[in-house]
Amino acid sequence: MAAAALVFAAGCSSGGGDDSGGRESPLDPGRSSRSPSGKPGADAPPEKGSAKVTRTLTKGLKSPWGLAALPDGDLLVSSRDEGTITRVDATSGKKTELGSVPGVSPGGEGGLMGLAISPTYASDHMVYAYFTTESDNRVARMLYDEKKPSGEQLGAPDTLFKGIPKGMIHNGGRIAFGPDKMLYAGTGETGDTGLAQDKKSLGGKILRLTADGEPAPGNPFGDSPVYSYGHRNVQGLAWDEQKRLWASEFGQDTWDELNEIKSGDNYGWPEVEGKAGEEGYHDPVAQWKTSEASPSGVAYAEGSVWMAGLRGERLWRVPVRGVTPAGKPQAFLKGEHGRLRTVLAAGGDKLWLVTSETDSRGTPEKGDDKILEVKVE
């Protein structure tokens, strides 16, 4: 099994790695870790970077979770607890509610979570969502008709994939289409640690599906949707320019993780947490004390992986050269905007960053929650 070359630890205090705390490829299984030029060290990002909030795009969001960009640049944001999807104008910040998603059953860390836009949106106008029901977590797609009145723009959900274990904690929830046009979904083990190592279970996995919800061709375990396993609670998914998949993950009491995901690899939970150096387990590229992170969304921009922290209340930058850090992780915006849920690349040196103070675990202030525009380097 592959293991990352370096692991960095940030911080020294311990705490639960759950989404808690108050305001405090098979694309190419043999892909090289070298830079695009083929030379180790070429095209590496600078060791030090920066992140500055340039404006607040919109305010007054309730329990925002998933974020996806439409082809024109406007944003769709899900409300975990209200089960609604809202469009946000990327210029003015104006909000328009598309509607509610039938069948969403919020509770604990479950509800309406990840969103993704169909790779063929121009022709099919489909929006994908990962959500919790009374019985499971599932993925569905809905037709988005912008011509209908506000609140009535979502078609009936077409369930594509169901049976993902649900719980009061660790429901996963992030979905994203990869460079291969396949749909990836991060799941959690619901607090039942045994699910993560069970390749027959859908809990504690990264799943790889077709756009119609079938196990994707080329998956590592035959006709199974499982792409990687041994995860505790995958919260973020993003790809770099070399089509490497990055994922963030809650630790328990010791280490939160940023992982580079390889098809078929075992990421260790619950046998190991953080860097173990044990044969058979894929070590994280970077790790943090749980009080410093409790990570959620990740994005890739300007040669670095950017990771939003819930309990840590900060935005982490991890400059990468191949699958090796090109410098120590840097923390930005510490404590300035509270809990940070989702980060999305917006092209060039811009990110969208979603706060998470109204999710019952924060201490909301006037205007929460928000979508912030961040300039990075």
pLDDT 10s digits, 232-260 = 999 999 999 999 999 999 999 899 999 99
Average pLDDT on 4-25 reads 39
pLDDT for the residue numbered 32? 32
Q: Which residues contact 222 (CB under 8 A, 6 or more apart)?
A: none
Does 301 score more than 80 pLDDT?
Answer: yes
What's the whole-number average pLDDT of the chain? 91
pLDDT in tens, 128-156: 999 999 999 999 999 999 999 999 999 99
Give yes or no for a contact between 322 and 40, defined as CB atoms under 8 angstroms apart.
yes
Q: How far apart are CA 21 and CA 362, in angstroms?
A: 7
pLDDT-derived band of residue 17, with 50, 70 and 90 as boundaries? low
State mean pLDDT over 297-316: 98
How many CB atoms sit inside 10 A of residue 143's CB? 14
Q: Is the pLDDT of residue 34 over 90?
A: no
Q: 35: buried, middle or exposed (CB in 10 Å: 19+, 13-18, 0-12)? A: middle
The average pLDDT across 110-124 equals 98
Q: How far is CA 82 from the centre of its chain?
A: 20
The strand pair at 340-345 and 51-58 is best described as: unpaired
Q: Which pLDDT band holds residue 31 (cuts at 50, 70, 90)?
A: very low
Q: Which residues of 83-113 are buried (b: 16+ CB within 10 A; e: fewer)?
A: bbbbbbebeebebebbbebebbebebbbbbb
Label the pairing between strands 286-289 and 9-10.
parallel
Burial of 374 (0-12, 13-18, 19+ CB in 10 A): buried
> Could you give the CA distance from residue 35 to residue 126 in angstroms, rounded to a whole number?
35
Return the amino acid letter for 155.
G
Task: Kindly state the average pLDDT of the residues 292-318.
Answer: 98
Question: What three-state secondary structure class fits 321?
Answer: strand
How many beta carbons lie within 10 A of that of residue 62, not counting itself? 15
Whether the pLDDT of residue 7 is over 70: the answer is: no
* pLDDT band at residue 198 under the 50/70/90 scheme: very high
Give the per-residue pLDDT at 354: 99
Question: At 30, is the pLDDT very low, low, confident or very high (cuts 50, 70, 90)?
Answer: very low
Hey, which residues does 187 pair with through a beta bridge? none
Bigger pLDDT: 10 vs 320: 320
| pLDDT greater than 90 at residue 21 | no
CA distances from 364 to 14, 103, 218, 314 (A): 24, 27, 45, 16
Rounded to an integer, the average pLDDT of 367-375 is: 98
Task: Compute φ and ψ for 251, nearest 5 degrees.
Answer: -90, -170
CA distance 278 to 247: 20
pLDDT at 2: 35
Residue 323 pLDDT class (50, 70, 90 cuts): confident
pLDDT at 213 over 80: yes
Residues in the chain: 377
Mean pLDDT of 286-300: 97
Q: What is the DSSP string of 53-115?
A: EEEEEE---SSEEEEEE-TTS-EEEEETTT-EEEEE-TTT--EEEEEE-TT---BTTBSEEEE
For the cut 80, the answer to whether the pLDDT of residue 27 exceeds it is: no
* Overall average pLDDT of the 348-357 stretch: 98
Predicted pLDDT of residue 126: 98
DSSP lists the bridge partners of residue 320 as 325
Residue 216 pLDDT grade (very low, low, confident, very high; cuts 50, 70, 90): very high
What is the percent of the chain where pLDDT is above 90? 87
